[in-house]
Amino acid sequence: MHNDDKAASRRQYLTFLLSNEEYAVDVLSVKEIIEYGDVTKVPGTPFHVRGVINLRGSVVPVVDLAVKLGREESPLSRRSCIVIVETGLLGERVVTGVVADAVNQVIEFSPDDIEPPPAFGTGVRLHYLDGIAKTGGAFVLVLNMDSVLSDEAHTATARPRQAELARTLTEPAPAPVETPA
């Protein structure tokens, strides 16, 4: 492979921290990074769904990625943020926010830099990983966000609840019902 071919095949990844481990997602799936703000809790959602936010008039579900990946819920700090990603869900593009403890950097990896996920040794479901990259002396877990956010628990709740929440947030509240004293 020529150097030009190698440079062309390099991809950029956003790296971030979750429970003191470094993860990466393809930068092409990242729409924006916002400060962690008001998240409205929604009853009946899976434990890993923190709630929803209003992102310029759109209802966006917010997933606690640490919990989704089997880690402890991370305490919020000044560096906590929501990474807004666009993924494929049931043939449609869906926007979801994922909570990160902190965003680190954008880094380039070539396909040769990313090893296939091992058969054991990580606390992440293997289908959630595109692979493991080495940066310096540390490893970065490269996530496949389509897989992470499209499993049964998220799929079953994301679309219907997103539509229901959008309707609820735009409709006027019902008049209070008077009860006899």
pTM (2 d.p.): 0.76
Q: Which pair of tokens denotes residue 30?
A: 């990242």
Q: Is 90 exceeded by the pLDDT of residue 62?
A: yes
DSSP class of residue 111 equals G
Pairwise pLDDT comparison (2 vs 78), residue with the higher score: 78
> Which one, of 91, 83, 93, 65, lies nearest residue 26 by Cα?
83
Q: Where are the domains of the chain?
A: 3-168
Question: What pLDDT is stored for residue 179 in this prediction?
Answer: 56
Question: What pLDDT is stored for residue 78 in this prediction?
Answer: 93
Q: Cβ of 96: how many Cβ atoms within 10 Å?
A: 24
User: Which SS3 state, helix, strand or coil, does residue 108 take?
Assistant: strand
Long-range (24+ apart) CB contacts under 8 A made by 90-95 are 90/150, 90/155, 90/159, 92/159, 94/149, 94/158, 94/159, 94/162, 95/31, 95/55, 95/58, 95/60
pLDDT in tens, 107-142: 999 999 999 887 765 555 678 889 999 888 889 999
Pairwise pLDDT comparison (180 vs 49), residue with the higher score: 49
Give whole-number Cα distances, 20 to 5, 43, 71, 73, in Å. 35, 29, 10, 12
Any idea which fold 3-168 has? OB fold (Dihydrolipoamide Acetyltransferase, E2P) (2.40.50)
Pairwise pLDDT comparison (8 vs 78), residue with the higher score: 78
Q: Of all helices (H) and strands (E), which one includes residue 114?
A: strand 114-115
pLDDT in tens, 154-175: 444 444 444 544 444 444 445 5
pLDDT in tens, 84-110: 999 987 788 899 999 999 999 999 999
pLDDT in tens, 24-59: 999 999 999 999 999 999 999 998 999 999 999 999
